[in-house]
Chains A and B, each alone.
Chain A
Amino acid sequence: MKQLFIASIILIAFGSCTKDFQATNQNPNQISDEMLKQDFNLVGSPFSGMLYELHGNQGSQTQEDLCYDSWMGYMNTPTDFVGNVNNTTYYIRWNSYWGRQYGNIMSPSKQVIQLAKDNGLPLFATWAKLIRVLSMSRLTAIHGPIIYSNYGSTASTILYDKESDLYNTFFAQLDTIQSEFGANKTYAGFAKFDPSYKGNISAWMKVVNSLRLRLAIRLSKVAPALAKTQGEKAMADPAGLIATNADNFNISLLGNIMPVGMICFQWDDTRMGGPIESFMVGLKDNRIAKFFSPVTDPALYADHPSSPYKGIRNGAYIGAKIQRVPFSKVSTDFNTVQTRRHFTASEVYFLKAEAALRGWTGAGDAKTNYETGVKLSFDDWGAGGADAYLADATSKPINYVDPIDSRNNFTTPSTITVAWNEADSRELKLEKILTQKYLATFTNTLEAWVDHRRTGYPKIPTVAKNDSGPDWGVIPAGEFIKRMPFVNAERTGNTAGVTDAVSKMGAGAKDDIATRLWWDTGVATNF
């Protein structure tokens, strides 16, 4: 038994020697909260990453390029992904923005809000809440109901917010955010963590007002009174709106390549869209050279030899990838840009132009707003000739020709011109505003998809190849995709929540791509 005795001693010796276990089990290449407290990095350090994630940049190809960039005709892919049956042709293969927003914005911001409270830095919580509204107001524009007020619940079923409730929540939170910012205009604590405005609170206050105006315009048809109240509030707020290109809300790419540049130049998976070719070539828009690269083979643009650009139809019939790789790439500038646009003064002026048409107080003159929007966009992109462009009352979008496959050809549905005509109907004026807004929001195209569903403008062709089906919902000929379905993880993991969310979209709603969102009233007229 002697040996057992000695063994027991060894055992006890080892048994008591486990105190370094915890340190051993930490990864020394990860940074602790304790370490982050130095220089007050703890609360502020997640912000640049959260801002970057507003566009879901890392998932840009599947959630942006192959979704609304394609559906709205800005870009389209030369690649026959999944046998040319994919999101671009209305058969859903990828649905990833949801996961990125909850995983990379909502979840870390929850911690940030708590840390801000624990560390006596309440304005960081305010800032985090603004980023949440920015993020979730994008997400609801894609899916409709989303998890917002119940976020962070430990219940097994987490209920979604009905869209009408959600917008009220957004507006109420923007009120609080604005008053908290307003009381701390000189606060300098954000500077280090804010690649967009270097911690300038006043600049963020302009974002708050501009965001309120954007959301108000979304609701201008479905809830005109609420929209008007909120829109007027945004325009009347003394902090002002994003009004010059210097005010623009641009987001740092944190050293990454602009996604559209990566997808285009490195993967050869995206090219200019056919509809934007139709508008920009037809309207003689000088921004085309800032957005896109010319092609070298004149046979590709034989239909308009003076303008060496060729795009790919939205929802196109795609054969071998090699066929359309020579089409127009985006501008090579996208290989080197350090920031991307998230909210520009130009968009604000187009919002104000629409507000003016709707008679909202403080909106000013529709024509002035419209023309300022166009000029700001030309300036922002470094394009010249805005005055001549604005004076052009004759040029119209052109018909599109696909030099590879004529099934992709289309006759332009839009006959809009650029020059403002005070005698036009409000409907035509709105089309003009939203066509220019569409062109100005290149690379930040979600709101253009919202405008198109909400108003039908700009007039773009339907997909050439419609693969929608019972799996994800049928889009009848002549119609457009209405929304993205809820994600599979939620369908399986929060089934009751999803069922409830579908019921919140109204009678007859389905969790498919054919169900309209709340503000997509289906009413053809806009006034």
Chain B
Amino acid sequence: MKSLLLVFCSVLCMVTATFAQTRQVSGKVTGPDNKAVAAATVKIKGSTTATSTSTDGSFSIKVPAGNVVLEISSLGFATKEVSVGAAQSSVSVSLATQSSDLSDVVVTALGVKREKKALTYASQQVSGDELRKGANFNFMDALSGKAAGIDIKISSSGAGGSTKAVLRGAKSLIGTSEALYVIDGVPMVNNKGGQPGSYGGTDGGDGLSSINPADIESVNVLRGANASILYGSQGANGVIVITTKKGKAGKTTVDFNHSTIIDQVSGIPDLQFSYGAINGSDYNWSKTKSNYYQNNYVKEFFQTGVNVTNSVSVSGGNDKTTAFFSYANMSVKGVMPTNTYTKHNITLNQSTKLFNDKLTVSSNVIFAYEESKNRPGAGYYNNPLTGLYLFARERDFNSYKTNYQVFNPDRNIYKMNWYSTEEKQNNPYWEINNNSKLQTSSRVIANVKLSYDIAKHVKFETRANIDYNDVLRDNRYAAGGNSVSVSPNGTWSYTKYNDQALYADGIFTYNNTFGSYSVSALAGASYQKNTFNNGMSVGNGTVALMYPNFFTFANMPYNVIFNQTINRTIKQGAFANVQLGYKDMFYVDLSARNDWASTLALTGNQSYLYPAVGLSGIVSQMVKLPEVISYMKVRASYSQTGNEVPFNVVNPWNSINGSGGPTGIGGIARNTQVPFTNLKPEIIEGNEYGLEMKLFKNKIGVDFTYYKDISTNQFLSLAAPSGSGFTSYYVNAGRIENKGFELTVDAQVINGNSFKWKTAVNVSQNKNLIAELIASNPNYQVGGDDEGFASVIRAGGSFNDLWIYKFARNTAGQIILNATSGVPTKAATQEKVGNVNPDFLLGFNNSFTYNNWYATVLVQGKFGGVAFSKTEAFLDSYGVSQRTADARDKGMMPINAIQGTTAVTSIDPAIYYSAVGDRNKIMEPYLFSRTNVRLGQLVLGYNLKSKNPNSIIKDANFSLVGRNLFFFYKDAPFDPEQSMSTGNGMQSNDVFGLPSTRSFGVNVKFTF
């Protein structure tokens, strides 16, 4: 690594050295407050020679002999020209703040840069520095709370786990409704692996964890379809635009960053250790209290997680060529014993100007290798936490821990040592030591971009990109484990596939001004071919391997099927956008895109066109506003986006069903789906209205958006009627509405010379209404009962309403007890008890600086919605929760019930808790408010700047970092934002997921 670094440094040095100069001018750039302005561009007027200032505002540039004029520019400041005399060797420059954010430039769809004032839709940019403050291992985790209107959930499976990010609510019934991720203008593959369900499984990860957060210059959140129409259907759920770091002309910079973060389990359920089981039962319903049972084994099971990240980057260049290189590695030991994760990232990009700077050739290559071992899962099967939590208290856990396997002389093989034969219980130590889960991903994202200035106002850009990811999931379960989930000779589940996305586009842009009028136009076309899950999977399940504990294809019995998998789509798009401006105060934006989607082949609807129109006006330019309003803009836009359907649903073929017997062939399972040749794309209409203001001389900024999105033509799958001759069919139907607002307020609360306090509040609300699914069948629903938890999408409700069984009650509200046994009874049908999505999101981010000290405090809150814990339901019915011990301590527990005609006011806890909970019983007691407010991030740091321009280390930064430190409020017994699944169905639900963690550590950064 070190030698590689040296090579890169020398390459960059040579690039810099090849230029001929005559003299050196140095100087310092400051702002109006006399504070250094870092990263300001210092350019020789009339030349392309430029450099940028370092963090202390200083710069040094080689200029030709004689008088020169330097142009100094920086975001947020007015550009200034300074004359430098022939004999002058140093200069001080003071920049004035730009009177508003008029000149803010943001990266929009397709990598097109636009002035923020001209945008007709909402966007919010977060800098890479801000994202890195908390030393999160996933940049989306870091974004949570820092941008409005984005609901982010992180898998509870730890490092390398997947993320669910939804902008403006769920819009599509079949898709994930997750945002599109775009790197430097090109859509990125985010093909999510399988997610755990009630019965088990492990998070299969997604495409986001392979991105090195240190490579990110900024992230721009385009929340609505209005902003993303140029991406076509895939942008219908909003876009996260990632701009990566590039080399800058001027000095070579080397950054080194190290962080060590400690994770601690913070959310272990409240368990009792004083009441055991009777007669060897699995259930801890003894009424005799003991003070001698082991009580530390749950806590001792988990370990302290350690995440170590190192990254180094080298960047530099001259006015012709710039380059950026980075390497990062991450090494993680999870809180679950035996869980590890390692990641290596290499990024290299360069940009070269050719042909009198008319042609710019740039390229970017990202390599990522991730390896995760024994990533924790969730659910009943093969999960160490079930056995760990439900363990019968009177037994000797330590002996099961030490002797998690025992020798079975009948087979000359070890077998699991566990007292219970329940399908969901395993010896936790057998599970973590003998069942190995390996997941690797090897990814390359490579692209080339040519940008050619055809004429003064016309530019042509073309890009080609390949995103290739090779994924392996190899889970091995040893012979002698739980016979329900593991074959007598062991179980092997092997998946290997690659995801490949090819992308190419060509775009003409035209920018010109005619007096008071300005025109920005673009037109282009794109081609995209995605081939996902191209590979195979095989699993012997409970069919025995031929020889025990040997996991290879040759050891598979004949009757195991090797599945080949593929999912491929081609999409072609043609698009155009024109923006007309008048006097920098009024803008009209018109866009249209036509898509051709292979998934709609045969339907006649494979080509579909959709438009967008937007208006924005800078009110503060048009009329004289009160003094306090320094800037005011209003905007409105309307868009329509099409969304194609999944692969291979129009007219699938037949599949080979089963291996056949030793003497016969396997049968063909004929496709019995009704052919769907009139399938149409889903349509999402977006309306949004916004107001942006700067108040009190830009001290306070306000950005407000109201939106309403309507999705129609939903792609719905229905079971065909029994007598119809088919088994399933699809229809286009339904109407889903999402409306809400997003508000960002940022303010410089205190802006003293040494002490500053900046604050930003991001709030948003989304209301989702399933206005209609299938008009002729009002009872139609998507999703159904999943072991006592039903997350349902049904007309009149909202996306993912939670339906559960409550107690059967009489009209007086008394719980009806069984007339003879006195056991609480369950209502006949499930009842809607809320929605698992939050109503209202809050992020409250504060940054304080005092001289070189700084601190940031991020408070995150999500309000509304319900959460559901099946873990607690099991803990209660097994009598292992503290609540069951408390109830037993008191003897009887109060209840408002009726048995026959007799009112009952108290009940035996054993009878009560045996009747509720478990898998499918009365789930009412396990419903919690989803609302939680936490101290999401706390950073305390010190910036050390070298006064000596010749010192090797230019500046350094040390910080202490804490994440998820504590909750100001939380009702649920688990953290609803650290979810067991990032799929659609199991949100805000916990079935023996990994307990939530809190993290703290140190972060160190050096710039050379």
Contacts and interface: CB of A to CB of B under 8 A. Distances in A.
A267 B652 contact: no
A471 interface: yes
A320 interface: yes
B483 to A, nearest CB: 5
Contact of B484 (A98, A103, A252, A267): A267
A255 B423 CA distance: 24
Contacts of B724: 152-154, 158
Interface stretch (B26-34, B307-315, B591-599, B709-717): B591-599
A474 interface: no
B890 to A, nearest CB: 25
B650 A254 contact: no
A21 B529 CA distance: 11
Given A7-B523, A24-B601, A25-B648, A255 B660 contact: yes
B721 A24 contact: no
Interface in A282-325: 319-323, 325
A14 B572 contact: yes
Contacts of A256: 543, 559, 658
B26 to A, nearest CB: 44
B421 A321 contact: yes
Contacts of B594: 11, 15
Nearest to B483: A266
Interface in A1-31: 2-4, 6-7, 10-11, 14-15, 17-18, 20-22, 24-31
A83 B598 contact: no
Contacts of B508: 3-4, 6-7
Contact of B653 (A26, A99, A338): A26
Contact of A107 (B558, B655, B659, B726): B726
B722 A193 contact: no
Nearest to A19: B601
Contacts of B568: 24
B408 interface: no
A381 interface: no
Best-buried of A2, A489, A493 by chain B (most CB within 10 Å): A493
A252 B652 contact: no
A33 interface: yes
Interface stretch (A41-49, A63-71, A219-227, A507-515): A41-49
B574 A255 contact: no
Interface stretch (B668-676, B855-863, B937-945): B668-676
The binding surface of chain A is classed by DSSP as helix
Contacts of A14: 525, 527, 572, 574, 596
Given A32-B653, A255-B659, A322-B420, A7 B570 contact: no
Interface string B692-733: 000000000000000000000000000101111111000000
A31 B653 contact: yes
B628 interface: no
Contact of B654 (A6, A20, A30, A98): A30
Which of B460, B521, B726 has the most C-beta atoms of chain A within 10 angstroms of its own C-beta? B726
Contacts of A252: 660-661, 663-664
B657 interface: yes
B916 to A, nearest CB: 10
Contacts of B725: 106-107, 110, 151-153
Interface string B553-581: 00000110001111011101010100000
Nearest to A31: B654
Contacts of A215: none
B777 interface: yes
Interface stretch (B91-99, B250-258, B280-288, B362-370): B280-288
A240 interface: no
A9 to B, nearest CB: 9
Interface in A102-135: 102-104, 106-108, 110-112
B206 interface: no
Nearest to A257: B543
Nearest to B645: A25
Interface string A73-110: 00000000011000000000000001100111011101
Contact of B525 (A11, A20, A471): A11
Contacts of A41: 668
Nearest to A497: B723
A25 B598 contact: yes
Contacts of B281: 319-320, 322-323
A111 B280 CA distance: 55
Contacts of B576: 4, 7
A10 B722 contact: no
A158 B721 CA distance: 9
A213 interface: no
B47 interface: no
B506 interface: yes
A4 B523 CA distance: 6
B280 to A, nearest CB: 7
A3 B660 contact: no
B524 interface: yes
B520 to A, nearest CB: 12
A451 B558 CA distance: 39
Given A4-B576, A27-B652, A322 B280 contact: yes
A15 B419 CA distance: 66
A361 B506 CA distance: 87
B750 interface: no
Contacts of B921: 82-83
B192 interface: no
B451 interface: no
B578 to A, nearest CB: 9
Contacts of A192: 665
A46 B670 contact: yes
A493 B721 contact: yes
A175 interface: no
A49 B460 CA distance: 58
Give the one of A106, A154, A320 with max B CB within 10 A. A320
A27 B721 contact: no
Given A50-B667, A266-B542, A268-B484, A321 B722 contact: no
A267 B658 contact: no
A48 B660 contact: yes
Contacts of A383: none
Contact of A494 (B510, B652, B653, B723): B723
Contacts of A18: 572, 596, 598, 601, 606-607
Contacts of A323: 281
B572 A17 contact: yes
Contact of B723 (A48, A147, A193, A265): A147
A52 interface: yes
Given A20-B570, A21-B598, A322-B280, A262 B668 contact: no
Contact of A253 (B506, B661, B723): B661
B811 interface: no
B647 to A, nearest CB: 7
A365 interface: no
Contact of A27 (B282, B653, B668, B777): B653
Contacts of A20: 570, 598
Nearest to A268: B421
B18 interface: no
B458 interface: yes
A14 B597 CA distance: 11
Given A255-B660, A490-B722, A2 B483 contact: no
12 contacts: A29-B564, A45-B665, A46-B668, A48-B664, A158-B722, A255-B659, A255-B666, A257-B543, A266-B483, A321-B421, A322-B419, A325-B421
Given A24-B570, A193-B665, 6 more contacts: A15-B596, A46-B667, A52-B658, A99-B722, A252-B664, A322-B282
Interface of B: 280-283, 419-423, 458, 460, 483-484, 487, 506, 508-510, 521, 523-525, 527, 542-543, 558-559, 563-566, 568-570, 572, 574, 576, 594, 596-602, 606-607, 647-648, 650, 652-672, 719, 721-727, 777, 779, 828, 914-915, 918-921
Q: Which 3 A-B pairs have the closest CB atoms?
A: A49-B667, A255-B559, A3-B508
